[in-house]
Amino acid sequence: MKRIAAAATAVLALVAGCGGGETAGAGPIMGPSDAPVTLRVLAGSELLDLEPVLTQAGEATDVRIQLEPIGTLDGAEAVASGAAETDHDAIWFSSNRYLALQPGAQARLGTAIDIMSSPVVLGLRRPVAERLGWVGRPVTWAEIAAAAGARQFTYGMTDPSASNSGFSAVVAVATALVGAGSALTLEQAESTVPALRDFFAAQTLAAGSSGFLQEAFVRRATGADPGTPVDGLINYESVLQGMNAAGTLPEPLELIRPADGVVTGEYPFTVLAAASPEARDAHRRLAEYLRTPDVQREIAERTHRQPAVPGVVPTPSGTAVELPFPAQADVVEALLTSYFDKLRRPSRTIYVLDTSGSMAGDERIGALQRSLAGLAGADPSLTGQFRRFRGREQVTLLPFNTTPESPQTFTVAEENPAPDRQRIADAGAALLPGGDTAIYDSLQAAFRIAEQQSAADPDRFTSIVLMTDGENTSGADIAAFRAFVGSRPAVPVFCVLFGESSVEEMEEVARLTGGRTFDARTAPLAEVFKEIRGYV
Amino acid sequence: MTAPAGRRSGRRVLSWLLALALLGVIGFVVLRDVGGQEPEPPELTVVTGVIGSEKDAFFADQRVRDAFRAHGLELKIDPAGSRQIATTTRLDGYDFAFPSSSPSADKLLAQRPAARTYAPFSSPMAVATFAPIVELLTQAGVVAPGSTTFDVRRYLELAAAGTRWDQLPGNTSFPARKDVLLSTTAPCQSNSAAMYLGIASYVANADGVVTDQTVATQVTPSVQPLFRDQGYLPPTTEVLFEDYLSAGMGRVPMALVYEAQYLAEALSPDPVLPADARLLYPSPTIFSRHTLVPLTPAGDRVGELLTTDPQLATLAAQHGFRPTDPRAFAAAFRDRGLPEPPALVDVVEPPSFDTLEGMLSLLGCTP
């Protein structure tokens, strides 16, 4: 459960009013079964928008709910392995569909109660939608793919191995473009029809979580981040409507709901089979409350999701077609593998790795070597399988100490990628600690490498991962880097906080470049390296 | 979570003492004032049950709760898929299980012998759909013009040919690039899908109930695509029916549900059925006999009341179920000024639990 604890960047505890059992004399006397209960829930991060509703629910039902955000796939893995039930009572993701495919997972689930729903759709900046002629008429995924293939627009989407919105989009697009009238077969999932490559070629922004994706989109749109604004986002309809309602965008997003079909998240609030009778009862009370018409209406108003209870708000138009979702684990795995290794725009990642003297020891250089080996294929877990180095990916290792060392670049083969992955692991295993810490000289070197590589092969996601365990002790300082980066094409830098690295400086580097920081001081370094893979 | 545990429990003890003292005083005053004129309300026994989700609305109905309260019972209900109830649900701590079919109940009985079971009401399987879909199905020969009969054999032919909605002749109302498939629940979890398997396998077996494993092995491959091609399926019929009601035609053009689910909406004081909602009856169809298996004496009492209490029979009819006494069912429609649903003649029996399990395991379900 360490990983889950680490992934919980924000634990939200919604506390009901003062405990009913302690207020004698006033109000009804409550027996032990009605005492306030805390329900510990592993949940999708986008549920944090329900906070006010859940606070009221806590007051009304005496059930406090503690949401611990985690990615869909990580959550599914934790439930299927039984790890989740050691310290959680319930789960609440946008969908249990992925989870249901995991062997043995079904028996670990108790009652599932749908609370609300939202389809995954495309939101486009209005002028772009107008230019493409997509306003006020039905548009199909095939048309969208054709325009994407001709680079007529760009979009952002979450990593489908980390987040359900990206995952649903891959399913919808593949099902529609393969032309399947029923759930995808294994052969269809493995196929790479040209239209699918076209569709994913226009993706210029990726993220391991929908929160970061939204923020990055808004920051680019408003000019707060370097880099060209992205034209659109694939996300839940509710998230896109929420962005429009927040008024933070310079121009509203036009919502394109593809006529050939969508995949919808239905938010089943699900108690775990191993939960105590008290937790089971609390889950039922809370779910009943959340499904009362007033609360359903409030959820619809606040979160833009469609209520699960019929008749609370007008039924949406009958023509939004729901695409079938594959129900076989091998089909889903083939679809994800094909997305990462064949369909997705290939990525280029430059790993700037601290090998200074302070990195000596198994818990530092050893952990770094194991992290690289994990990404190279040694990690057998489900998430490890999807986040290892991908077919067609370009990986550069740039070790540094007193000065940047010479970079080693690997391009992973599309067919038979294992030998290339092994070469990366071997290069990691050869790293030796010693010397000072020239962070900014090395980062600048990484930017120059990125420019050369981009000039030779422009059509890739390009990002830099910086891992250092200490402060800058050699060469250029942060001020010099600030000046340097202002005049350069944007490359996001994802910084790993490790050992004694300067949090302030790392956060500034991330901010200056449109990247973000990841904390490896409280979580295993290998897990953090894996998490970053959702962003590069 | 701030007060130290010792102080907290000390305060709690004090609270309870004060509360008990207060209750004593109130009790004395009440008894002195009304002494003997009114019977004391019986102490409520909490009874917990796990039920097929399609009966959730019935048990959640305040009138049903009150009817049980009048007999001293307070019901706490967990909905679940019927096969889940028969196979994976942990039954310890429940007073009764109330799956939606006799095969599931038989399975439960094998593990948890009970002196008797109760089948207070039943409901045929039906197809909830929309007027434009009925029109398309009529043109395609699945529905006889002007009738509510859904010809399963003709439908299975369309499905076996992989026909898409947009390939149906003259279809302008629902030109979806999606196969013509009846939406169901997951057969591994839910009874209604297992009943559908019973219907489809009957037709595929040249109009004969599948009674042994050899025939099951021959027939199952032809019905498997009906489920597989749908992809991920909802775990319970309640979820499926809610999807039908709240998401509209695009998500669920036609769904196999219990007749009771649809009728309950039609009979409700504030129905949420879409204006163009329609109900069709598969031919043949299967009646699901909702069967209560008592696990404790308190659960047995629930079964007995459901079977004998006329008010509960009336309420069951108002929730769309066909009680053992047909008069309650007819009265429910008469009272609401609605035509009574047809008496069904083309009804077949479900396969036995073991045969059904045999087919389900061929579909990839694990026990």
Task: Output the tens digit of pLDDT for each of chain A's 536 residues.
Answer: 434 433 333 344 443 333 333 333 333 333 345 568 999 999 988 898 999 999 999 999 999 999 998 888 888 889 999 999 999 999 999 999 888 888 788 889 988 899 999 999 999 999 999 999 999 999 999 999 999 999 999 999 999 988 899 999 999 999 999 988 899 999 999 988 899 999 999 999 999 888 889 999 999 999 888 888 999 999 999 999 999 999 999 999 999 999 999 999 999 999 999 999 999 999 999 999 999 999 999 999 999 999 999 888 887 766 689 999 998 889 999 999 999 999 999 999 999 999 999 999 999 999 999 999 999 999 988 888 889 999 999 999 999 999 999 999 999 999 899 999 999 999 999 999 999 999 999 999 999 999 999 999 988 999 999 999 999 999 999 999 999 998 888 899 999 999 999 999 999 999 999 999 999 999 999 999 999 998 98
Q: Which residue has the higher pLDDT, B277 or A27?
A: B277
Residues 6 or more apart in contact with residue A98 via CB below 8 angstroms? A72, A73, A76, A164, A167, A332
Determine the residue of chain A that is closest to B235 in CA distance. Answer: A112
Residues 6 or more apart in contact with residue B169 via CB below 8 angstroms? B139, B140
Q: Which site among A66, A106, A143 would you substitute to test the B interface, given the most B Cβ atoms closer than 10 Å to its Cβ?
A: A106
Contact residues, chain B, for A320 at CB < 8 Å: 247-248, 250-251
Q: Which site among A99, A109, A111, A280 would you substitute to test the B interface, given the most B Cβ atoms closer than 10 Å to its Cβ?
A: A111
Cβ atoms of A51 and B48 within 8 Å: the answer is no
Burial group, residue A206, by CB count within 10 angstroms (0-12, 13-18, 19+): buried
pLDDT digits (tens, 9 = 90+) for B175-233: 898 999 999 999 988 889 999 999 999 999 999 999 999 999 999 999 999 999 999 99
Burial group, residue A178, by CB count within 10 angstroms (0-12, 13-18, 19+): middle
- Per-residue pLDDT, A249: 94
Residue A438: count other Cβ atoms within 10 Å of its Cβ. Answer: 23
Cβ atoms of A94 and A46 within 8 Å: the answer is yes
Angle of CA points B195, B198, B203, to nearest 5°: 135
Cβ <8 Å between B249 and A319: yes
Contact residues, chain A, for B181 at CB < 8 Å: 182
- Per-residue pLDDT, B285: 97
A176 lies within 8 A of chain B by CB: yes
Beta pairing class for A90-92 and A268-272: antiparallel
Residue B191: count other Cβ atoms within 10 Å of its Cβ. Answer: 31
ipTM of the complex: 0.81
Q: How many angstroms separate the CA of residue B118 from the nearest CA in chain A?
A: 24
pLDDT digits (tens, 9 = 90+) for A259-297: 999 999 999 999 999 999 999 999 999 999 999 999 999
- Per-residue pLDDT, B42: 63
- Per-residue pLDDT, A487: 85
Cβ <8 Å between B178 and A261: yes
Distance from C-alpha of A287 to C-alpha of A53, rounded to nearest angstrom: 12
**For residues B140-167, average pLDDT:** 96
Helices (DSSP H) in A267-417: which residue ranges? Answer: 277-290, 293-303, 329-338, 367-373, 382-387
Q: Which residue has the higher pLDDT, B36 or B253?
A: B253
- Per-residue pLDDT, B8: 41
Cβ <8 Å between B93 and A106: no
Helices (DSSP H) in B35-81: which residue ranges? Answer: 56-60, 62-70
- Per-residue pLDDT, B189: 82
Cβ <8 Å between A311 and B270: yes
pLDDT at B254 over 70: yes
In chain A, % of residues over pLDDT 90:
76
Region of residue A528 (phi > 0: left; psi between -120 and 50: alpha; otherwise: beta): alpha
Burial group, residue B1, by CB count within 10 angstroms (0-12, 13-18, 19+): exposed
Amino acid at B169: P
pLDDT digits (tens, 9 = 90+) for B341-356: 999 999 999 999 889 9
Q: How many angstroms separate the CA of residue A312 from the nearest CA in chain B?
A: 9
In chain B, % of residues over pLDDT 90:
67
pLDDT digits (tens, 9 = 90+) for B15-29: 554 455 555 545 544
Cβ atoms of A438 and A403 within 8 Å: the answer is yes
Sign of CA dihedral A524, A529, A530, A532: positive
- Per-residue pLDDT, A158: 94
| Portion 308-327 of A in contact with B at CB < 8 A | 308-311, 315-327
Burial group, residue B120, by CB count within 10 angstroms (0-12, 13-18, 19+): buried
Distance from C-alpha of A479 to C-alpha of B43, rounded to nearest angstrom: 76
- Per-residue pLDDT, B19: 55
Q: How many angstroms separate the CA of residue B79 from the nearest CA in chain A?
A: 7
| Portion 97-156 of A in contact with B at CB < 8 A | 97, 100, 106-107, 110-114, 117
pTM of the model as a whole: 0.84
- Per-residue pLDDT, B328: 94
Q: Which residue of B12, B80, B242 is in closest CB contact with A310? A: B242
pLDDT band at B46 (very low <50, low <70, confident <90, very high): very high
Distance from C-alpha of A274 to C-alpha of B164, rounded to nearest angstrom: 43
Query: Which two tokens mark A20?
Result: 């009913």
**Averaged pLDDT score across all residues of chain B:** 87
Chains A and B form CB pairs within 8 A to the count of 136
Cβ atoms of A232 and A156 within 8 Å: the answer is yes
- Per-residue pLDDT, B2: 36
- Per-residue pLDDT, A26: 34
Distance from C-alpha of A498 to C-alpha of A493, rounded to nearest angstrom: 15
Cβ atoms of A333 and A186 within 8 Å: the answer is no
Residues 6 or more apart in contact with residue B213 via CB below 8 angstroms? B355, B358
Distance from C-alpha of A35 to C-alpha of A37, rounded to nearest angstrom: 6
Report the candidate in A396, A408, A410, A482 with the shortest Cα–Cα distance to residue A439: A482
Amino acid at A39: L
Helices (DSSP H) in chain B: which residue ranges? Answer: 5-34, 56-60, 62-70, 82-87, 102-111, 131-139, 152-160, 191-204, 213-228, 237-247, 259-267, 297-308, 310-318, 326-336, 353-362
Cβ atoms of A308 and A291 within 8 Å: the answer is yes
DSSP secondary structure of A307-330? ESSTTSSPPPPTT-PBPPB---HH
Distance from C-alpha of A252 to C-alpha of A447, rounded to nearest angstrom: 34
Burial group, residue A112, by CB count within 10 angstroms (0-12, 13-18, 19+): buried
Q: Which site among B18, B20, B177 would you substitute to test the A interface, given the most A Cβ atoms closer than 10 Å to its Cβ?
A: B177
In chain B the first and final C-alpha atoms are separated, in Å, by: 43
